[in-house]
Each structure stands twice: as C-alpha cells, then as structure tokens.
C-alpha cells in the first residue's frame, strides 16, 4: 500500500526519448565540431572588433598617443642613466632635470645640424641640379620619341601650375600649418610626459599594478621590466649602429666630394631607426645626390660605399651591439613595418619594430623570468 492507500507505481522512462529531447536542446547545436568552430569564429570576431576599436581610438588621438609612446621609449633608453645618478646619491629631481636637458639638447642638435648643413650647401646643390637637369633634357632631345616625352612633360608642368594656383593648394597649405601646430603641441606634451616618466616612472607603474595580486602581479612586474629593457636596448643599440653607419657614409661622401655630405649622413642616422627599409632609402638618396652633382661614376662609388657600410652593420654591428634585444625574423620586421606605415605613416614605421619587439619580449617572460608562454616555447620545453 502506498502512503495514501494506493499501490506504488513504477514510472518507466523511455531512454531514447530523453536523448532525443536533449539533442533538440538549443545549446546542443554548439556541442559538435561545427558548433565549436562557430564559437571560435565568434570569439575571433570579438577580438578583432576590440582591436579595431583600439586602433581607431589611437588613430584619432595620435596627438596624445604618439608623444606617450615616444616618451616611454626615450625614458626606457635613459633608464640606466637615471639609475646610475640615483645610485650616486643625486636627488631624483636633479637627475631628471639633467637627463631631460641632455635629451632635449641632443635632439635639438640633430635638427640644427640638418638645417645648418642644408642651408650652407643648398645653393651649390641647386646650381648643380639645374646643370644636371639641363644635361638630361639635352640628352632626351636626341631620343627618337622626344616629341611624345615633351608633350607629357608639358602636360605635367601645366597640371602642377594649375594645382599651385587652385584653391586645393591653399587648403593644403592650411593643412600644413595645422600639422606644424600639432607637431609643436605633441613635442611639448612629449617633453612634459618624459619628465614624469624619468622622475616617477617606477612609482607610476606600481600604481597601475595595484589591482593585481599573486601570480598576476608577478607576471605584470616581469612584463613591465622586460618592456623597459627591450625598448631601452633597442634604442641604445640602434643609435650606436646608426652613428657608426652615418660616420662611415659621411667619410665616403667627403672623400668622393658629394654635396650635402653632412645632412645626408644625418639622414642616414635617422633612417637607421627604420630597419631594412631605412638603409635602402638612405643609399638611394645619397646615390641620387651624387648622380645629379658629380655624374654616374661617382654615384656608383657612393652605392659601393653604402653597400659596404650596410654589410658591416648587418654582419658585425647588429649582432654585437643589439644582442638579443631584437630577436625578430626579417619577415616579422617587414610585416610590422608595413602595418605601422599603413596605420601611422612615418612615425608608425619608426615605432612598429620596437613595439613588436616589446610584445615579443613580454611573451618570453609570460610564465617566468626565463619561461615563455606555453604556445611560444620550443617543443622540448612545451611541457614545462
């Protein structure tokens, strides 16, 4: 008898019907292989959307983001100087002032050197360029297809004249004035931010790490230290390599009596901060100046000097001076340069490689001081 006087009844559950209902549940569509692929695709779309939003925000705020990144890189490069002065008992404020003054003087000296050298030799180069252009025109007149070339040159000159006299040229000039104003604003902001990074950089980083605890805190500390180390090593090593390149090419240009040797050497120094592409551009510019001023034979000698200096850089200077701070494959560097140029122009090309190196450095210390993230480890270390 049951509790209420009825006989107990046994309930029979049809197992196939339960499985069928479970299979018809909405979430079961995501349980098979195709469903997992869909989930992964949605995750990728979300990550790409977030990354695109971040990149868009950075592009809209370049007047803030670029000075911040430049200040961080310069502060990382001069971090050993700050540590040395603080270790000698120099007050933090005084050490910051000395370092910041030295950075400003160094950057100002490079800019002044370019302007002075160009103004000093521009008249000579312009005269030689006019003579070289006249020789080229005389040579073109001897060609059988001169008439078609001449008509194209005339149409091109007319188009240039129309552009200069149009309203579009005026708007372009106003845009140039706006760009100069933005540059001045960004420069002032970079100097101010650099002052605080030099003076209170470690304290500012500790403040940002307050939400982290335990292993997350240790990982964030490792990433911060590695980022400063990689950025500083990259800038210092690249600056030394660029200085040697510039001096070597300057000596070659002076021996070959190429005009604008000093500004070309300074340009070599600056373009050296764009790996692979910068050296090629500097060599092309130097060869073109030599071609216009001194003729094709002299230009070939300039190309030989540039190639020799680049070989010295690639086979000796880079491995010795850069060490392991830039363990990036050439393919990765080219991709980073392309992406940086598309997103940020010349500034993006300069910043792309050190940022990529810093990201890779953070991955290398993700799970420990000398232990990379699991997916980035070699096969024999993947199980550690």
- Kindly tell me if the per-residue pLDDT of 261 is higher than 90: no
Per-residue pLDDT tens digits for 124-160: 656 655 665 666 666 666 666 556 655 666 666 566 5
Give the per-residue pLDDT at 20.
Answer: 46
Per-residue pLDDT tens digits for 83-108: 899 888 889 899 999 999 998 898 88
Q: Which residue has the tokens 């971090």?
A: 79
Which residue intervals of 256-329 are DSSP H helices?
261-271, 277-294, 296-312
Considering the chain, what is the average pLDDT of its residues?
77
Give the per-residue pLDDT at 100.
Answer: 92
Give the per-residue pLDDT at 96.
Answer: 92
C-alpha 259/C-alpha 254 separation (Å) is: 8
Per-residue pLDDT tens digits for 274-320: 877 777 788 888 888 888 777 788 888 888 888 888 777 766 766 66
- Kindly tell me if the per-residue pLDDT of 21 is higher than 80: no
Give the per-residue pLDDT at 125.
Answer: 58
Strand, helix or coil for residue 368: strand
- Kindly tell me if the per-residue pLDDT of 163 is higher than 60: no
Other beta carbons within 10 angstroms of residue 27's beta carbon come to 8
The H or E element containing residue 118 is helix 92-141
Pick 291 or 177 by higher pLDDT. Answer: 291
- Kindly tell me if the per-residue pLDDT of 366 is higher than 70: yes
Confidence of residue 175 (pLDDT cuts 50, 70, 90): low
- Kindly tell me if the per-residue pLDDT of 197 is higher than 50: yes
> Would you call 88 exposed, middle or buried from its count of C-beta atoms within 10 A (0-12, 13-18, 19+)?
exposed
- Kindly tell me if the per-residue pLDDT of 55 is higher than 90: no
Confidence of residue 64 (pLDDT cuts 50, 70, 90): confident
Give the per-residue pLDDT at 154.
Answer: 63
CA angle 365, 363, 238 (to 5 degrees): 95
Confidence of residue 3 (pLDDT cuts 50, 70, 90): very low
Asked whether the CA dihedral 321, 324, 326, 332 is positive or negative, the reply is positive
Q: How many alpha carbons fall within 13 Å on the CB side of residue 238?
A: 26
User: Across-strand partners of 371?
Assistant: 368
Confidence of residue 6 (pLDDT cuts 50, 70, 90): low
75 closest CA partner among 86, 83, 65, 87: 83
276 closest CA partner among 329, 343, 204, 219: 329
């Amino acid at each position: 008898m049951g509790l209420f006087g009825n006989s107990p009844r046994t309930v029979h559950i049809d197992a196939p019907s339960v499985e069928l209902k479970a299979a018809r549940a909405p979430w079961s569509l995501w349980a098979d292989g195709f469903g997992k692929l869909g989930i992964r695709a949605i995750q990728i779309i979300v990550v790409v959307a977030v990354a695109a939003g971040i990149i868009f925000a950075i592009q809209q705020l370049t007047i803030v983001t670029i000075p911040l990144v430049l200040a961080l890189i310069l502060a990382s490069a001069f971090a050993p100087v700050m540590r040395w002065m603080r270790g000698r008992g120099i007050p933090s404020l005084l050490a910051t002032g000395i370092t910041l003054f030295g950075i400003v003087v160094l950057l100002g000296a490079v800019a002044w050197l370019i302007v002075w050298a160009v103004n000093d030799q521009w008249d000579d180069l312009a005269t030689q360029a006019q003579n070289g252009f006249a020789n080229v025109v005389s040579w073109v007149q001897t060609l059988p297809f001169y008439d078609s070339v001449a008509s194209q040159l005339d149409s091109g000159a007319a188009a240039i004249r129309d552009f200069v006299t149009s309203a579009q040229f005026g708007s372009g000039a106003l845009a140039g004035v706006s760009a100069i104003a933005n540059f001045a604003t960004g420069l002032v902001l970079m100097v101010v931010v650099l002052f605080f990074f030099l003076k209170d950089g470690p304290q500012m980083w500790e403040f940002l790490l307050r939400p982290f605890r335990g292993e997350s805190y240790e990982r964030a500390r490792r990433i911060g230290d590695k980022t400063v180390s990689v950025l500083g090593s990259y800038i210092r090593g690249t600056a030394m390599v660029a200085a040697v390149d510039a001096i070597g090419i300057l000596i070659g240009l002076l021996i070959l009596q190429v005009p604008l040797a000093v500004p070309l050497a300074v340009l070599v120094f600056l373009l050296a901060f764009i790996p692979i592409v910068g050296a090629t551009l500097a060599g092309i510019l130097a060869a073109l100046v030599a071609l216009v001023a001194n003729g094709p034979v002299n230009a070939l000698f300039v190309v030989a000097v540039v190639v020799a200096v680049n070989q010295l850089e690639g086979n000796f200077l880079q491995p010795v001076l850069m060490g392991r701070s830039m363990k990036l494959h050439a393919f990765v560097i080219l991709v980073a340069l392309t992406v940086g140029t598309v997103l940020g122009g010349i500034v993006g090309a300069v910043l792309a490689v050190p940022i990529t190196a810093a990201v890779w450095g953070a991955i290398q210390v993700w799970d420990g001081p000398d232990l990379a993230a699991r997916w980035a480890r070699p096969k024999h270390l993947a199980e550690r």
